[in-house]
Structure 1
C-alpha cells in the first residue's frame, strides 16, 4: 500500500518540478524587470515607439513588447576639432569643447525628435558648435587669440547659446582647448619676441650706462663741492686770521702810542722821551770815534784805561 502511494505521488512532484523549471526559464528569457542607473533616465519603447520615461531604480516592462533605452542626464563633454580663419584670414586649426546636459524632464521629447545622444550631437550640437567657434574666431586676429582667448570663448559661448536655445539642453561651459597656428607665423612671433628681448636688453644696458655716467657726474659734483667748500673754509680761516692779526697789531700800536703819550706827559717833552729811550738802551760803552767840528774829520777817541 505504501509503495503504491509513492508511485502515484511521484508524477505530481515531477510535474511541479518541471513547472518550476519552465517558469524560471520563462522569467530568465522574458525578464519583466529592468534597472535604470543613477544619472540616467529610461525611455520605454513599445513596438519601437517611445511611450514613457522612467527615473533611476527598478521597474517592470512587458517582455518582448517593451524595450528600454537609457539616456544620460549628467553633464557630457563633446570635443570638436576643425579648421577656422582669423580676422586677417590666417588659417588655424581649433580644438573646442562644450559641456552640456540634457534637461531631465524633457529627455523623452529629445529622444523622440533626435534619437540617441550621439545622434543629437552629430546632427544638432556639433554643427552649431563649429559654426559658433568659426564666427567668434573670425572677429579676432591671431595675436589677439593668443593674448585674449577668453574673449573669443565668451563670444562663441553666446553664439552657441542662442543657436541651441530651442533645444531641451543646458550648456554649462565652452572652452577653446587649443589653437594651432601656421608654423611660419609662430616663427615670426618667435623672431619678433627675440627682437623685443634684444631691444629690451639694449635699453637696459643703456640705462645702466646712463646711470653709471650720472653716478660719475654726481661724484665729480660732490668732489667739486667738497673742494670748493674746503677752499672757502680755508679762505675764511685765512681772512679771519688776518683780521685777528690786524686787530692785534692795531691794539699793540694803540698801546704803544698810549705809552708814548704817557711818557711825553711824564717827561714833559718828546725830546726828553727820546733821550730816555736812548739812555735806556745804552750798554755803558762810550763811542770810539767823533766828528771834528771844524772840518768834519773823523777822529779816534782814546779809550779809558
Structure 2
C-alpha cells in the first residue's frame, strides 16, 4: 500500500511531461495560412523546405512555426504624385497581392513578415510616380486612366515578383486633381462635346442637301433624256397605238379622224 504512491508519482510526472511536450510539439495551421518552420537548434528557416499547409502538425518542441496568410490580401494606397507638367495629383488605389507560396521560406529569410512595408508599398509608390509622370492631368482625368492602371500594375509586378510576392491587380479608384485644373478640364471637355455635336449636325445637313441635289439632278437628267427621245413621229405612233386599242374595246365611242392636234384622231366615248 505504501509503495503505490511511490510508483504512481513518477508515472504521473512522466505523463504530465509528455503532455507538456506534446502541447509544445502540436501546431495547427488555419485555412488560408501556411507555416514556416524555424529550427532553433539548426540553421533557422530552410529556404528550400516546403511550407507547412493547413491542418495539424507535430514538430520538435524546441522549434517554432511562423505563420503567414497565403490568401489574396488588399492594401489601400493613397499617393501624392506629380503629372508630366509638375502638378500635384492624388491617387486612391487598391493593391491585391499574396505571398509566393512555394518560396515562403525565401520570403521569410530575405524580407521577413514585414514584407508589405519593406517591399510592396515602396514598389507601388515608385511605379505610380514613374507612370503618372508621363501623363498630363487631362489624360489622368479622362481617357488614359485604364492605361495608367495597367502600366502601374506591370511596373510594380516587375519589382515585387523577383522578391517572392505575387501581385494580382492594381485598381485605381479615384484620381484627384487641383480644383482649378479640374474645372478647366471639365470646361474644355464640355466645349469639345458641343463642337462635336455642331459638326455632326453640320455634316448631317450637308449630306441631306447633297442627297436632295443628287435626286433633283437625277430627275432633271431623266426628263432631259425623255424629252430628247420623244420626237413628233414617236408621239404620232404612240397615239395611233392608243387609238387602235380604244377602238377595239367594247365601250361605245365616236372616232373623228384627223381632228386632233398634229392630225391625231379624237375619240369621244359615251361615258
User: Could you tell me the TM-score, scaled by structure 1's length?
Assistant: 0.57
Tell me the secondary structure at the aligned position of residue 74 of structure 1: coil
CA distance in 2, matches of 1:131, 1:121: 14
Residue ranges of structure 2 left out of the alignment (5+ in a row): 225-231, 237-259, 265-271
Residue ranges of structure 1 left out of the alignment (5+ in a row): 1-7, 229-235, 246-305
> 2:180 aligned with 1:161, yes or no?
no
What CA deviation, in whole Å up to 9, does each residue of 1:255-296 have, x standing for no partner?
xxxxxxxxxxxxxxxxxxxxxxxxxxxxxxxxxxxxxxxxxx
CA distance in 1, matches of 2:215, 2:111: 84
Which segment drifts farther, 157-166 or 206-215?
206-215
More helix by share: 1
CA distance in 2, matches of 1:172, 1:134: 20
Summarize the Cα distance change of 1:9–1:135 in structure 2 as closer, same or farther, 3 Å threshold: same
Summarize the Cα distance change of 1:198–1:167 in structure 2 as closer, same or farther, 3 Å threshold: closer
Match of 2:45 in 1: 51
Match of 2:90 in 1: 93
CA distance in 2, matches of 1:44, 1:209: 78
Give the CA deviation at 1:205.
6.0
Higher RCO structure (Cα 8 Å, ≥6 apart): 2
CA distance in 2, matches of 1:212, 1:172: 53
Give the CA deviation at 1:183.
1.7
Give the CA deviation at 1:33.
0.9
What CA deviation, in whole Å up to 9, does each residue of 1:4-39 have, x standing for no partner?
xxxx489659957x9389729954994421112233
CA RMSD of aligned residues (A): 4.4
Match of 1:175 in 2: 171
What CA deviation, in whole Å up to 9, does each residue of 1:216-256 have, x standing for no partner?
9899999999xx9xxxxxxx9xx9844228xxxxxxxxxxx
What CA deviation, in whole Å up to 9, does each residue of 1:29-88 have, x standing for no partner?
94421112233221233559733564222112344x333221123333333211111112
Match of 1:67 in 2: 64
1:157–1:174 Cα contact (<8 Å) kept = yes
